[in-house]
Amino acid sequence: MSASTAPGFVAGLVQRSTPQTYHIVIGITHSQTCLTLTGRLRALREGGFRVTLISSPGKLLDRTAAHEGVEAIGLPIRREIAPFADLISFFRLWWLLLRLKPDVCEFSTPKAGLLGSLAAWIAGVPTRVYMLRGLKLETAKGIKRWILLAAEHTAAAFAQVVLCNSESMLAEAVALGVAPASKMHLLGDGSSNGVDVERFSPGFSSVRSDLGIPPDVPLVGFVGRLTLDKGVPELIEAFDTILRSMPDVRLLLIGWFDASEDALAPVWRARLANHPRIHCTGFVANTAPYYRAMDLMVLPTWREGFPNVVLEAAATGIPVITTICTGSRDSVVPEVTGLLIPPGYPEAISEAVLKLLNDPVRRRRMGDAARTWVCKHFADERVLGLATSFYKSLLKPVPVATSDDAVAPAASKDWQRVWELLTRNENASSTEETPKSVLSHPCDRNKDVARVGHPAFAFLRARAPSRLFPSRGNSLVGGEEVPGEREPLKVYRG
């Protein structure tokens, strides 16, 4: 999408002349994550929001913004740990949010979640949501895992709501202590944007003839990034085992070689390129006809948030074999719509694939059940409707100005108040009552926080994120730990 105007050094800002009631900013790290936002952005716009999408520049960002009819801002954010570049990205985000003045912001993916949530808090964005689409730390080890966990804690701390896109993701985040259970939310049965069940449906496909695959040979499919975390090496090893039992079977890989930290080594890429029974398509914008050509799909992933490709395959009426890992295990009803296997075991993949390929009746029955299940729980109208309603429920009425004075951002007023408390007479009471300037909807978690020590810190405790100071469930009153009542996990169903 071309940019008409751009504030300062941030390229790609598209200005819309049509006023909207509320403004929401959606921030992600890399433009490839735009693939998970298809439909969601348009639904928010049609629900009355002015939507601005922030991501590293790329063709997918421009294409998604144009398709969804939203504003797009290209702001470079590195996926890997890069302190100097991250600092620059943070200040750009903070400056941009000051200019945009959104009512709501939603940041997701590890780097954008960390930098965006902190920048939004300092910029005084009134409603801040951290979207957990996956936990990268699940496949990390040592100091890197510790850094990633600390980043998740910080991103969640500066948000008022942590939105998880699957039930197992919510449970894992709570177990890791990413945020208090009271801050976690799950919309319906999960998924970021659901599935267009009309587009992804059984039907004719010319993919086999286009790729030179005979119509009567078994075809196993994979859709996603060709990386280590997606289990591609295990799938290649399993496929060679499958060939020994069924020499005619073919493997169709739909996806691209992602230049990420879990990129495939050259030896694996060479095996894919030289294998006579493996077809690699590269990135495909419209995957619907490719699903129709498959007999079944395999996703041997090591970590997910909620894999949309599994739901798309299921909606097309084919069974799916995936792993018991976080996120992926929510996308299959075991032994009904597909099979679940442990990650990292090529023999488990080959055994499951052969079991279904040798039983076409069971395979058809699973495919029919899969489509019925997806249409009931994950149709895009239902999932996107829940998301739009949830964001509207977080909004507060806009206050009517009572004077001609300019209203400073919330964070600026907070720091002015802290300075006043820090510089006042030392003889002043240290138990001054904390200002009751907190909100009354799900975005506030510190209404009854204990007041300890200097009044400036008491004020900060009432305004800062809950993980920076003790809060309900583990409050400190007079230096003693007072257990609080744990609030139940919240599942929003409209």
Residue positions counted in the chain = 494
Mean pLDDT of 456-469: 42
**In one letter, which amino acid is 296?**
L
Domain-located, residue 84: yes
* Residue 222's CATH number: 3.40.50.2000
Instruction: Tell me which of 378, 406, 428 is where a domain ends.
Output: 378
My answer on whether 350 and 250 are in the same domain is yes
- 48-99 pLDDT, tens digit each: 999 999 999 988 899 999 999 999 999 999 888 888 999 999 999 999 999 9
Nearest residue to 119 (alpha-carbon basis) of 134, 135, 137, 100:
100
Domain that holds residue 188: 22-192+383-394
My answer on whether 236 and 135 are in the same domain is no
My answer on whether 158 and 261 are in the same domain is no
My answer on whether 119 and 99 are in the same domain is yes
My answer on whether 232 and 161 are in the same domain is no
Domain-located, residue 13: no
More confident residue, 59 or 423: 59
My answer on whether 388 and 437 are in the same domain is no
Domain-located, residue 400: no
pLDDT for 269 equals 94
- 181-199 pLDDT, tens digit each: 999 999 999 998 899 999 9
- How much of the chain is helix, strand and coil, in % rounded to 5? 40, 15, 45
Domain-located, residue 373: yes
Nearest residue to 117 (alpha-carbon basis) of 103, 129, 135:
129
d(CA 435, CA 410) in angstroms, rounded, equals: 13
DSSP letters, 237-273, are HHHHHHHHH-TT-EEEEEB----STTBPPHHHHHHHH
In this predicted structure, the answer to whether residue 221 has a pLDDT above a threshold of 80 is: yes
Find the angle CA(114)-CA(120)-CA(126) to the nearest 5 degrees. 135
Domain-located, residue 28: yes
pLDDT-derived band of residue 397, with 50, 70 and 90 as boundaries? low
pLDDT for 439 equals 33
d(CA 138, CA 181) in angstroms, rounded, equals: 20
**In one letter, which amino acid is 381?**
E
pLDDT for 363 equals 97
The three-class DSSP label of residue 119 is helix
My answer on whether 294 and 257 are in the same domain is yes
In this predicted structure, the answer to whether residue 132 has a pLDDT above a threshold of 80 is: yes
In this predicted structure, the answer to whether residue 386 has a pLDDT above a threshold of 90 is: yes
- 324-363 pLDDT, tens digit each: 999 999 999 999 999 999 999 999 999 999 999 999 999 9
pLDDT for 82 equals 83
8 A C-beta contact, residue 29 and residue 53: no
- Using a cut of 0.85, tell me whether the model's pTM lies above it: no
Domain-located, residue 202: no
Domain-located, residue 493: no
My answer on whether 90 and 30 are in the same domain is yes
My answer on whether 215 and 159 are in the same domain is no
Instruction: Tally Cβ neighbours within 10 Å of residue 372.
Output: 15
**In one letter, which amino acid is 165?**
N
Q: Count of domains in the chain?
A: 3
Mean pLDDT of 407-434: 43
Domain-located, residue 1: no
Alpha helices for 101-231 (secondary structure H)? 110-123, 142-157, 167-175, 207-211
My answer on whether 331 and 351 are in the same domain is yes
The three-class DSSP label of residue 131 is strand
d(CA 27, CA 70) in angstroms, rounded, equals: 13
d(CA 171, CA 173) in angstroms, rounded, equals: 6
pLDDT for 307 equals 93
CB contact set of 130 (below 8 Å; sequence gap of 6+) = 106, 107, 108, 113, 117, 155, 156, 158, 159, 161, 162, 163
In this predicted structure, the answer to whether residue 390 has a pLDDT above a threshold of 90 is: yes
pLDDT for 31 equals 86
pLDDT for 109 equals 87
- 244-300 pLDDT, tens digit each: 999 999 999 999 998 888 899 999 999 999 999 999 999 998 999 999 999 999 999
My answer on whether 247 and 234 are in the same domain is yes
My answer on whether 228 and 368 are in the same domain is yes
